[in-house]
Amino acid sequence: MKKSSFVLFAALVVLVIACGGEKLTPNGYKYTIHTNAGGAKAEVGNYAFVHISVFQDDSLVNSTYQMGRTVPIKVPNQDSLPADQRGVGKANPVADVLAFMSVGDSATVEIPLDSMMRQNPQLKDAKSLVYGIVVADIKTKEQYDQYVLDERKAIDEKMNVVKAQEATVASQLGDLIKQYKAGSLKDKLQTTASGLKYLILEAGTGAQAEAGKKVDVQYYGMLPSGEEFDNSFKRGQPYSFPLGQNQVIKGWDEGIALLKVGSKAVLFIPAALGYGSTPNGKIPANSELYFYVQLEKVQ
């Protein structure tokens, strides 16, 4: 969905919040179909690939648009649903409305806020919860199975490419640490007020990392001895975390925030911005830490 279309859809959600849904799904959820594109119809057993946006009152909480991909949901056979999966609060509200939708259609479904849901502090005082749904594609069971195989193959191929970089990155970081200790990087290093030193190997041109946003980072960590203590390359997958939320060491929260997507850098993190006087696994107390980092995504 284009950005302008999403803004319009968000406005429709606010209208639904104010006016209420017009129809009921088989399990009792109020829903409204906003657009009827006349595309392929979702049938029982098919998999609908949908965008889902969650609105609390009139504010967007999260959305698959932020993830950059749709979510596949199987269209259920209402007659064969077990008793414990029927009714409001039990049945999946998105799956429940799919039988009324076609490719290109958009709809909103109201989610009643019961006492159990209000145990969530974020929903304690909420007046409404609405799911906005857009059907992007529909696949048969056979097409879906092939899609899963293709996705797995693509993921494995990408992981193998990343894993193949491990030895090269380790060698590069080891050489830079030797130069750092010898004092030959002084003219290239930048230092922040906190004492964090960093070296930009390749400046990215993508989105700037910012506090509160989720970032994907490939990394390789070494101790002053040159020993590796952890790295994402061996796993073939980046480390994902919300930046600036104290979920990583201070040196990472500060250092990654200096980068744009596509950047490759080395962070020279003093103990005060690392684990301090507390040992952590292979990391001794009061250790300066060295990280090669690649910022892959900001969302």
- Indicate which residues carry an active-site annotation: 219, 229-230, 249, 275, 291
CA 281 to CA 287: how far, in whole Å? 12
Please state whether 64 falls in left (phi above 0), alpha (psi between -120 and 50) or beta: alpha
**How many distinct helices (H) and strands (E) make up the chain?**
6, 14
- 282's CB contacts (< 8 A; 6+ apart) are 223, 227, 229, 230
**106 is written with which tokens?**
């958009």
Tell me if residue 71 falls in helix, strand or coil: strand
Cα three-residue angle 271-274-275, rounded to 5 degrees: 90
Q: Are 81 and 5 in contact (CB under 8 A)?
A: no
Q: Are 257 and 210 in contact (CB under 8 A)?
A: yes
Q: Are 217 and 256 in contact (CB under 8 A)?
A: yes
Scan for tokens 């969650």, then name that residue: 54
Rounded to an integer, what is the distance from CA 164 to the centroid of its chain?
Answer: 25
Other C-beta atoms lying within 10 Å of the C-beta of residue 53: 23
Please state whether 194 falls in left (phi above 0), alpha (psi between -120 and 50) or beta: alpha
